[in-house]
Structure 1
Amino acid sequence: MTIKLKLELASGQSMKGAPLQLLHDGVAIARASVDAQDQATFDVKPGPGKLAVRVDRSILPKG
């Protein structure tokens, strides 16, 4: 199953290059980065459960 997202910030800033995680019931199951069109794609196995997306802050620069 392919999940495609378009990310838009209220400030209008681009999220290009932002690392994302797809969570299934709170557990990271896939990773993606935001492309130049502010889109990200996850390829995962279909199944029941709650999905969520978060920015993987562990690999962003500190500061």
Structure 2
Amino acid sequence: MKIKLKLELASGQSMKGAPLELLAKGVAIARGVVDECGSVTFDARPGTAQLAVRVDRSTLNEG
């Protein structure tokens, strides 16, 4: 199943290219990247769980 989200930050900053994780019960079940329009699509298996989204910091360069 596809889950589509549109992200808008209150600051107006772009999230383009941000790697995101879709979590079910705190465990990453899908990953996606924010496009130029602020949208991200996750491919996930159907199920019942409380979902959350977080930035996948493991792919970001810290420097």
Report matched runs for 1:24-63 at 5 Å.
24-63=24-63
Question: What runs of 5+ residues in structure 2 fail to find an aligned partner?
Answer: none
Distance 1:43 1:59 in 2: 19
Question: What runs of 5+ residues in structure 1 fail to find an aligned partner?
Answer: none
SS at 2:45 equivalent: coil
CA RMSD of aligned residues (A): 0.9
Query: What TM-score comes out, normalization by structure 2 length?
Result: 0.93
Number of positions where the alignment pairs a residue of Structure 1 with one of Structure 2: 63
Q: Give aligned-pair identity as a percent.
A: 70
Moved >4 Å (runs of 4+):
none
Q: Deviations over 1:5-43 (max 9, x none)?
A: 001111101000000000011100100000011100011
